[in-house]
Amino acid sequence: MWELVKLDDPADHVKRLTLNRPDAANALSKQLLYEINEALAEVEKHKNTRCLLITASGGKAFCAGADLKERAGMTDQEVVDTVTLIGDTIHRVERLDIPTIAVINGVAFGGGLELALACDLRLSSNSAKMGLTETSLGIIPGAGGTQRLSRLIGLGKAKELIFTAKPISCETARAIGLVEYAYDPSILQGEALAMAERIANNAPIALRQAKKAIHQGFQTDIETGLQIEKMCYQTTIPTKDRLEGLQAFKEKRKPIYRGE
């Protein structure tokens, strides 16, 4: 269906979106961005999906960021339009109502790291390097990096990474909370899938409401956040899944959730 993106179902209720431009370090060309959006539309359409993995082909790069060779031939307006397309695509990933996991199997620079930042969790190869390197190119992160990185790791560390444009190791990224886990490349994909399956075993309505409560509450004060949590919790009360969870606990068995 697509040349630059793969979308498959590695486990029940789990989809995996794979960037497939390994010869170009999976850089974000316009065509790749178009195909990512088409794949995301498929994910949004399948309501039985409970978790999405985002990774890349090849072992060297998760995503090197914008396609600078393509950009070199653009007018200023075309650059603006392309940066907007990157930002809108990444924001669409963030807006997905299901949990998302970035599986960083190689270098993640610029827009590639911004894509990972839009995911809920980040698992990395222990040999990967990452960074927001835009200031070394005369620009700034333009697809959410200045906002999402500071919210994730704090103002000081975010400013350091953006101002210096210095790539960091996976070990450093884990130490500052940029990635949750680091694995040997040989087991990274398996560990990521295991986490996705564990997530997907839980009640899908509860997963969506938990993500909504966290995201919306984080942007506001604690009192408003608690009200958001209350509303999201109340959404789960009349569901069949909640009753199934209670019944399964009583019967000491694994619950079977249907998203109802």
Mean pLDDT of 71-94: 92
Residue from 57, 49, 45, 53 nearest 2 by CA? 57
Taking 90 as the threshold, does the pLDDT of residue 71 lie above it? no
Taking 80 as the threshold, does the pLDDT of residue 1 lie above it? no
Instruction: Give residue 195's pLDDT.
Output: 98
End-to-end CA distance of the chain: 31
Mean pLDDT of 184-191: 96
CATH of domain 5-200: 3.90.226.10
Instruction: Give residue 66's pLDDT.
Output: 87
Q: How confident is the model at residue 64 (pLDDT cuts 50, 70, 90)?
A: very high
What amino acid positions are annotated as catalytic residues?
66, 111, 114, 134
Lowest-confidence range among 165-174, 203-212, 246-255? 246-255
pLDDT, tens digit (0-9, with 9 covering 90-100), for 98-144: 999 999 999 999 999 999 999 999 999 999 999 999 999 999 999 99
Q: Where along the chain do its domains lie?
A: 5-200, 204-251
Could you tell me the pTM of the whole model?
0.94
Taking 90 as the threshold, does the pLDDT of residue 12 lie above it? yes
Instruction: Give residue 51's pLDDT.
Output: 97
- Separation of alpha carbons 202 and 53, rounded Å: 16
Q: At what angle do helices 145-153 and 155-164 cross, to 10 degrees?
A: 140
pLDDT, tens digit (0-9, with 9 covering 90-100), for 20-61: 999 999 999 999 999 999 999 999 998 899 999 999 998 899
Taking 90 as the threshold, does the pLDDT of residue 69 lie above it? no
Instruction: Give residue 2's pLDDT.
Output: 84
Q: What CATH architecture is 204-251?
A: Orthogonal Bundle (1.10)
Taking 90 as the threshold, does the pLDDT of residue 160 lie above it? yes
In this structure, which amino acid lies at residue 110?
A: G
